[in-house]
Amino acid sequence: MNKAAIYHRPDSEYAYLYTAHEMRLRIRTAKDDLQSITVIAGDPYDWQNGSWQKSIDTVMTKTLATDIHQYWEASLTAPFNRLNYGFIMTDTTGQQLFYGDQGFESVTPSSNDNNGLMGASNYFKMPYFQEIDRFKAPEWIKQTVWYQIFPERFANGETQNDPNGSLPWQADDHPSADSFYGGDLRGIINHLDHFIQLGINGLYLTPIFKAPTNHKYDTQDYFEIDLHFGNKEDFKELVEKAHASGIRIMLDAVFNHIGDQSPQWQDVIAHGRHSKYADWFHIRDFPVHYTPTDNFEFTADANYDTFAFTPHMPKLNTANPEVQNYLISIATYWTKEFGIDGWRLDVANEVDHHFWKKFRDAMTSINPEIYILGEIWTSAQSWLQGDEFSAVMNYAFTGSIIDFFAKRQTKPSQLVHKLNTQLMLNRDQTNQMMFNLLDSHDAPRILTVAQNNKNIVKQMYTFMFLQQGTPDIYYGSEYAMTGQQDPDNRKPMIWQKEKQDEDMYQFLKQLIQLRHNYQNVLSEGTLSWQTDDENGIIGLTRQLNETQIAALFNTGTTNYDVSSTYHSAKIIAHEFYANQIIQPNGFIVTVINQ
């Protein structure tokens, strides 16, 4: 038994409340090392004749695996909402060990009786099922298919508010970093039917507040809609009409930094260390200064902290109570006055945990079911404990899919190992709310990444829509828009009918409908994998109760005859694909209602 590979941690993603009365346990072991694991558990206060009493023996289920680890899971309940629990492990030779809070011990004869094993002090504990601490997963989030909008480039609904020098609306144009085209809130309102027909029920808008740039991440005034986008009446109309159509609205909160045109930073420039906002920022000495370069967004010698090396985005000191109150007042205003449904938090991992905890408390006091989404590109466990974010933008997931399907840099089994590792970082309800995406305003468009191969893009979207998490489509992807890294990925939306890719639109529309039809299975169902590295085949099966959804993807270079490969046991779920042949870059999705 490989003891070094065994890992469990109480009060974490390894031991957590899934519902108010269901506790889920996980444990990690070496792959192919153990025959079985049994959870023994009981009430910590159940003592008889001087001995603690166990009352539960639950055999754990083998679930996901990586190249070196196997995960096991079990579900427990407790009549008095508290548990002692430990693990009896049996290896492939029949040897048994007990694993608890104090480590490993030999199994005693009492393990087969109803009395105590090892003594109560050697057990892990769930002291009480604290509902207030449980990571909540609002149902509406699991049911949502998102659509990300870069407002300046989606649609121009009101030409009177266009910025000076706005360019003609050309979908095949290649914008520069400082281009303007006149997109606005009225343009979004005018196209609500587009979202309804596509099946979208969540809109994520990048910043809409007053700022000098087209992207608005250099906020000048958080309490005003940028005049080139419209006004508060327009935004209220958008929220109300979207809600009436069953569409949620999520705004972008830029709280890591502020724009250098903001009154706060201008006051610092004018008054230096005597400014009432001097402590709102991370300034090393006064006066503030930097040396401009040919790149507007770069300087090497600013004497204040910034977002990246951008001198026009000074970093806010969110440890300052005045800054905390200011930022929370902003979010409170837009959440309470306009009834928005979520906040996407820009550069979220560069802001302190202390602030985000306060932020969550403030937002959930207004709307207990609000979606709080952090922009974090790597693993984010410390933000996903239930007291800060609902989820993060799942860029780690994105990268794994791109490396496999588009870049062909990994094998099917390697993709499975990566995705399983990512899933095991979080609680089940957290995985159900992760924001899954293939591209965004910060990444090249997925069709360009796939070298304009639409079949590969269809594979990736299908694969993504079959996973846990709430899927997102970047504006224009339904019409197969292309673009390199920003600003090229921020082209004006294709509204000319003759330039729209109707095939891609119909494909995504059907995929979105599949997601809505089987949302429960795809959010909460079990996951199993099938792989064939030699032929570039990856398969997955999702199951909840009597409904199964199975899919098989061919990333190889030849046709794949599913029936002929069954007897070599390369594909386990062959019965879903009897007599099927999958072409290269093709896939099959089958729904079975038993």
Averaged pLDDT of the chain: 93
Backbone angles phi, psi at 128, to 5 degrees: -165, 145
Within this chain, do residues 394 and 482 fall inside the same structural domain, yes or no?
A: yes
Q: Per-residue pLDDT averaged across 200-206, rounded?
A: 98
% of the chain surpassing 90 pLDDT? 88
Rounded CA separation 494/479 (Å): 7
- Of 511, 549, 512, 555, nearest to 527 (Cα)? 549
CATH number at residue 346: 3.20.20.80
CATH number at residue 560: 2.60.40.1180
Phi-psi region of 393 (alpha: psi -120 to 50; beta: other; left: phi over 0): beta
Of 29-33, 43-47, 69-73, 422-426, least confident by mean pLDDT is 43-47
What is the per-residue pLDDT for 570?
41
Within this chain, do residues 310 and 407 fall inside the same structural domain, yes or no?
A: no
Q: Per-residue pLDDT averaged across 192-217, rounded?
A: 98
Q: Per-residue pLDDT averaged across 42-55, rounded?
A: 84
What is the per-residue pLDDT for 572?
40
Backbone angles phi, psi at 84, to 5 degrees: -95, 140
Q: How confident is the model at residue 171 (pLDDT cuts 50, 70, 90)?
A: confident
What is the per-residue pLDDT for 38?
96
CA atoms 506, 508, 511, 516: torsion sign: negative
Which domain-ending residue is among 521, 555, 571? 521
Q: Per-residue pLDDT averaged across 424-438, rounded?
A: 97
* DSSP per residue, 281-318: B-BSSSS------SSTT--S--SB-BSTT-TTSBBB-T
Of residues 118 and 18, more confidently modeled: 18
Cite the beta strand spans of 364-413 per DSSP E.
371-374, 391-392
What is the per-residue pLDDT for 573?
43
What is the per-residue pLDDT for 580?
79
What are the beta bridge partners of residue 209? Answer: 225
Within this chain, do residues 47 and 67 fall inside the same structural domain, yes or no?
A: yes
Which pairing describes strands 342-345 and 248-253: parallel, antiparallel, or unpaired?
Answer: parallel
Q: Do the beta carbons of residue 278 and residue 334 sit within 8 Å?
A: no
What is the per-residue pLDDT for 52?
79
Within this chain, do residues 403 and 480 fall inside the same structural domain, yes or no?
A: yes
Tell me the per-residue pLDDT of 502-514, one tens digit each, with 9 for 90 and over.
999 999 999 999 9
What is the per-residue pLDDT for 113?
53
Q: Write out the two tokens for 425.
A: 């970082």
What is the per-residue pLDDT for 151?
98
Amino acid at 119: G
Q: Do the beta carbons of residue 550 and residue 571 sit within 8 Å?
A: no
Within this chain, do residues 161 and 100 fall inside the same structural domain, yes or no?
A: no
What is the per-residue pLDDT for 24?
97
> What's the total number of domains in the chain?
4
* C-alpha dist (Å) from residue 1 to 31, 296, 375: 11, 59, 40
Amino acid at 436: N
Q: How confident is the model at residue 425 (pLDDT cuts 50, 70, 90)?
A: very high
% of the chain surpassing 70 pLDDT? 95
Rounded CA separation 130/145 (Å): 31
Rounded CA separation 483/444 (Å): 6
Q: How confident is the model at residue 578 (pLDDT cuts 50, 70, 90)?
A: low
Within this chain, do residues 412 and 335 fall inside the same structural domain, yes or no?
A: yes
pLDDT at 111 over 80: no
Tell me the per-residue pLDDT of 525-562, one tens digit each, with 9 for 90 and over.
999 999 999 999 999 999 999 999 989 999 999 998 87
Q: Write out the two tokens for 358.
A: 């306060």
Q: How confident is the model at residue 264 (pLDDT cuts 50, 70, 90)?
A: very high
Name, in order, each residue with C-beta under 8 angstroms of 220's C-beta and a sequence gap of 6 or more.
209, 210, 211, 212, 259, 261, 262
Name, in order, each residue with C-beta under 8 angstroms of 185's C-beta and a sequence gap of 6 or more.
151, 157, 208, 225, 229, 230, 234, 235, 238
Tell me the per-residue pLDDT of 292-343, one tens digit each, with 9 for 90 and over.
999 999 999 999 999 999 999 999 999 999 999 999 999 999 999 999 999 9
Q: How much is the pTM?
A: 0.94
Rounded CA separation 121/98 (Å): 13
What is the per-residue pLDDT for 579?
63
pLDDT at 581 over 90: no
Q: Do the beta carbons of residue 526 and residue 466 sit within 8 Å?
A: no
What is the per-residue pLDDT for 361?
97
Q: Do the beta carbons of residue 238 and residue 154 sit within 8 Å?
A: no
Q: How confident is the model at residue 567 (pLDDT cuts 50, 70, 90)?
A: very low
Tell me the per-residue pLDDT of 453-485, one tens digit each, with 9 for 90 and over.
999 999 999 999 999 999 999 999 999 999 999
Q: How confident is the model at residue 568 (pLDDT cuts 50, 70, 90)?
A: very low
pLDDT at 101 over 60: yes
Within this chain, do residues 102 and 41 fall inside the same structural domain, yes or no?
A: yes
CA atoms 191, 196, 198, 201: torsion sign: positive
Which pairing describes strands 470-474 and 526-532: parallel, antiparallel, or unpaired?
Answer: unpaired
Q: How confident is the model at residue 517 (pLDDT cuts 50, 70, 90)?
A: very high
Within this chain, do residues 398 and 333 fall inside the same structural domain, yes or no?
A: yes
Q: Given the structure tokens 């008054």, which residue do they identify?
A: 271
* C-alpha dist (Å) from residue 203 to 222, 248, 430, 501, 512: 20, 6, 20, 22, 14
Q: How confident is the model at residue 56 (pLDDT cuts 50, 70, 90)?
A: confident
- Of 497, 296, 558, 280, nearest to 288 (Cα)? 280
What is the per-residue pLDDT for 577?
56
Q: Write out the two tokens for 293.
A: 């370069």
- Of 254, 244, 263, nearest to 208 (Cα)? 254
Q: Per-residue pLDDT averaged across 98-103, rounded?
A: 92
Q: Given the structure tokens 């997102």, which residue do they identify?
A: 472
Which domain-ending residue is among 81, 101, 133? 133
Within this chain, do residues 543 and 570 fall inside the same structural domain, yes or no?
A: yes
Which domain-ending residue is among 133, 155, 173? 133
Whether the upstream peptide bond of residue 287 has omega within 30° of 0, thus cis, is yes
Within this chain, do residues 277 and 221 fall inside the same structural domain, yes or no?
A: no
Phi-psi region of 33 (alpha: psi -120 to 50; beta: other; left: phi over 0): alpha
What is the per-residue pLDDT for 564?
58
Within this chain, do residues 245 and 203 fall inside the same structural domain, yes or no?
A: yes
* DSSP per residue, 121-178: GGSEEE----GGGS----HHHHT--EEEE-HHHH----GGGPPTTPPP--TT----TT
Q: Which domain holds residue 78?
A: 3-133
Of residues 576 and 39, more confidently modeled: 39
Q: Per-residue pLDDT averaged across 211-230, rounded?
A: 98
Within this chain, do residues 345 and 485 fall inside the same structural domain, yes or no?
A: yes
What is the per-residue pLDDT for 119?
60
Neighbours of 233 (CB within 10 A): 10
Which pairing describes strands 103-106 and 124-126: parallel, antiparallel, or unpaired?
Answer: unpaired
Q: How confident is the model at residue 117 (pLDDT cuts 50, 70, 90)?
A: low
CATH number at residue 274: 3.90.400.10
Enzyme catalytic residues:
346, 375
Q: Per-residue pLDDT averaged across 245-263, rounded?
A: 98
- Of 86, 10, 14, 22, nearest to 54 (Cα)? 86
Phi-psi region of 65 (alpha: psi -120 to 50; beta: other; left: phi over 0): beta
Of residues 56 and 241, more confidently modeled: 241
